[in-house]
Amino acid sequence: MQTANLNEVIVNKLYEDGLLLADEARASFDLEDSFGGARDETSAARAAMSCEALRTTTRMMHAIAWLLNQRAYFSGEISEFQLRRHGRLPPAQPAPSHEELALLPPHVADLVDRTVELYARIERLDRAWRKSFELQPAAVHRLRERLGYAFAR
C-alpha cells in the first residue's frame, strides 16, 4: 500500500539527506577545542553541547532506521506487514530550548534545526502512511450495519 506522498524516490532522497546530516552531526559534536572563553561559560556550553549531541544523534538514528525500513520495503526485502509491525518511527526527541541553542556555536545550532526539520518531515510521511491503512470508525460502523442487516433477514 502506497500513499501519494510516500514513494521510493522521496525515501531515497530523505535517506541521502539523513546520511549527510548524520555525518555532519558526528563531526560537529566533537568537543575538542570547540569552546573558548570563561570557565563557567565553557561548562554551560559543554553541558548544552552534550545534551544536544545525545538528542540529535538519537533523532538521526531513529530517522535513518525508519528510512532503511522503508527502503527495504520498496526493494522487496520486507513485506508491508513487517514494515507496519517493525517500521514505527519513535516519538520525536524534545525540542531544544532557545537558551540551550544560544550556548551552541551557530553552525551547530543550525545543524540541530535541520535535523529537527528532517525528523518532522519523516513524521508527517509516517503519519500519512499509517493513516492510509487505519480503519476509520465510520467505516467500521457502516460494516457493522451492513452485517446486521444481512443477518436480520
| 111: its cell numbers | 545543524
- pTM for the model stands at 0.77
Whether residue 27 is predicted with pLDDT greater than 60 in this model: the reply is yes
Range of the domain at 65: 8-152
> Which tens digit of pLDDT belongs to each residue from 59-109?
999 999 999 999 999 999 999 999 988 888 998 888 888 888 999 999 999
Whole-angstrom distance, CA of residue 153 vs CA of residue 147: 10
> Which tens digit of pLDDT belongs to each residue from 29-58?
875 445 554 455 678 888 888 889 999 999
Amino acid identity, position 116: V
Q: Is residue 3 part of a domain?
A: no
The total number of structural domains in the chain stands at 1
> Which tens digit of pLDDT belongs to each residue from 77-91?
999 999 988 888 998
Count of alpha carbons within 13 angstroms of residue 146, beta-carbon side: 6
Identify the three-state secondary structure at position 134.
coil
CATH number at 65 reads 1.10.8.930
The answer to whether the beta carbons of residues 3 and 132 sit under 8 Å apart is yes
Distance of CA 41 to the CA centre of its chain: 32
**Cell 544560544 identifies what position?**
102
